[in-house]
Structure 1
Amino acid sequence: MTFYDDIYPFYVVQRTAFIFSTRLLTIILVFLVVAVGLLLILPGIRGKSRVLWMFRIIISLFIGAVIVALNFTSDWAEASVTTNATYKSFSNAVINADIGLHVGLYGINVTLKGNPVVQFNETINYNEVFSWHDTMAKVYEDALERGLPNPILYIAEKFTLSSPCGLIFQYRYSGRYASATLWTAFCCWLIANILFSMPVIVYAGYMMLATAAFIFFSMASFSTIMNVPQCVFSIGTASFEAEYSHSFWLALATGVLCTIIGTAVVIFDFLVPEKIKEAFSVGVDSDEDDDVSYGEVADTPFWHISNPQSFFSVFKNFTYLFTCSSTA
């Protein structure tokens, strides 16, 4: 211990507590930049369309950010317990700590925080990530070599292939399909935003319903882990099981929001199609376009043919317009 100045030799540098996922931070920053960029054009929009445009931007970007972020959150299912447990292997030291299991679509996070944090002259504040992309046996072996605390090793061992619980098969495959359907929902969201800018509002509503459907499919895929016998984690004198957490309920709320938006757009397009197009500023001709003057040919557009057999007049008007635009 003295070689690294009271730091365990398994860690070359001082460990720092987990604060915030860099992936989630990147996603939030990207969508915030897009939101600010789109909101900057609000002063150029006149009338009631300005308010509707603002709500469209905020709600749409919120849905998109949530769909992307749900792929990288680690709290689709969680479990925690406060108990006394042995700290390290080959040691009789017992600590009182908060132990947590956080399940995401790509792996698990195991947390260990002491009560108090400093015990035995060491800061006990761990957050270890075990990803499905890696071989769990290799990751577990690395954790053993680094000398992680016993509670973390115990939980991680439950997700190895050799564990009789078989949690790796339940969570990895359910998370894989849930992630695939979420990315499909994100594609539907992109198409819906494109269609909202075109005079086919009803199809945008259909795509919002498709977005909601794929979000619900992802929830159904993840929910399959609850249809098999759950493995009970026993540490010290306490035990716990994983249950649905924040990301799962956030996905449900986002799916319901997409369903409401899609249903409302389809119904309003059927009842008042002109009003819904006006609300989305599509398919409505501006009166200002009728006042544009093109000199002598303003009253007779160049595409207007009074005599079908006289095509020369059309060519003459087109040449005049081209000459005027070139000399301007």
Structure 2
Amino acid sequence: AALNFTNDWAEARMTTKATYKSFSNAVVNAEIGLHVGLYGINVTLKNPVVQFNETIDYNEMFTWHDTIEEYEEALEKGLPNPILYIAEKFTPSSPCGLIFQYRYSGRYASATLTAFCCWMLANILFSMPVIRYAGYMVVATAAFIFFSMISFTTIMNVPQCVFYIGTDSFETEYSHSFWLALATILCTLIGLLVVLLDFLVPEKMKEAFSVGVDGCEDEDDSYSEGYLNSFFLDGV
């Protein structure tokens, strides 16, 4: 589920000199970062050195559903030019069309929420005498995460929009959340292994997960114990 809400499925960053504010010739040297998530983007502009009597440290969020309103608010607040330039690239009126590409790919990549539900169900089933179905749910978890990755990779199959700031440029690349989703491979192997072992050695699997073993032993013990009537023994 964490993958669904992070803002680093794709990112780009660089350090360059750029004009700071509109209607000004002031130039700043700062690190510019673009972080793309499933629901929007984060644009950062940072430099720990004090320039123009302020510490440059901006972190602005723009969501897919309110991009126009948030971009207009950014214009009204007079945010630095690099942030406005990148945000403008993700507006519906931009010829790059980035918002449509990322919004639709992110919409299907949100299947990570379904994967989280499958994972929770798998944990519940592991505590019950249905180990095989828990394995099925682990495989289903991997399948939905894999589907999310495939959905997000479609954005890389279209012509990329290059961002030019100052004399430098950058393009987005896959980032931490995307590569973390590769844990799908491990998840698939675990699920298949659980299903296979449950077919081959079901009793051993129940013992390994402590499912249905203690109850049976207690039941056998209860049958082995009996009550002896002392009056009956005296009569004998």
Paired position in structure 1 for 2:72: 141
SS at match of 1:189: helix
Cross-structure match for 1:173: 104
Match of 1:275 in 2: 204
1:217 aligns with 2:147: yes
Matches within 5 A, 1:117-156: 117-134=49-66, 136-156=67-87
Q: Greater Rg, structure 1 or structure 2?
A: 1
Match of 2:121 among 153, 176, 191: 191
The separation in 2 between residues aligned to 1:127 and 1:296, in whole angstroms, is: 79
**Counterparts in 2 of 1:106-125, with a 5 A limit?**
106-114=39-47, 116-125=48-57
TM-score of the pair, normalised by structure 2 = 0.91
Distance 1:295 1:186 in 2: 51
What letter corresponds to residue 143 of structure 1 in structure 2? A
How many angstroms apart in 1 are the aligned matches of 2:123 and 2:134? 7
Q: Which amino acid aligns with 1:167?
A: L
Deviation at 1:283, TM superposition (A): 2.5
Aligned to 1:88: 21
2:172 equivalent in structure 1 = 242
- CA shift at 1:295, angstroms? 4.5
What is the alpha-carbon distance in structure 2 between the residues aligned to residue 216 and residue 85 of structure 1?
A: 39
Tell me, in whole angstroms, the C-alpha distance in 2 between the residues paired with 1:291 and 1:204. 30
Q: 2:194 aligns with which of 258, 265, 269?
A: 265
Could you tell me which amino acid in structure 1 is paired with residue 176 of structure 2?
Answer: H
Residue 233 (structure 2) aligns with: none
Deviations 1:82-129 (A, max 9, x none): 111000001110011100000001100000012x43101111010000
Identity across the alignment (%): 78
Structure 1: how far apart are the matches of 2:182 and 2:13? 23
Whether the 8 Å CA contact 1:234–1:240 is kept in 2: the answer is yes
2:157 maps to which of 217, 222, 227: 227
The answer to whether the 8 Å contact 1:191/1:207 transfers is: yes
Q: CA deviation at 1:137?
A: 1.4
**Over aligned residues, Cα RMSD in angstroms?**
1.5
215 and 94 in structure 1: CA distance in 2 versus 1, 3 angstrom threshold: same
Q: TM-score, normalised by structure 1?
A: 0.66
CA contact (8 A) 1:117 1:125 kept: no
Q: Deviations over 1:177-199 (max 9, x none)?
A: 111x1111112112212221222
Structure number with higher relative contact order (C-alpha < 8 Å, ≥ 6 residues apart): 2
Is the Cα contact below 8 Å between 1:80 and 1:101 reproduced in 2?
yes
4+ runs deviating over 6 angstroms: none
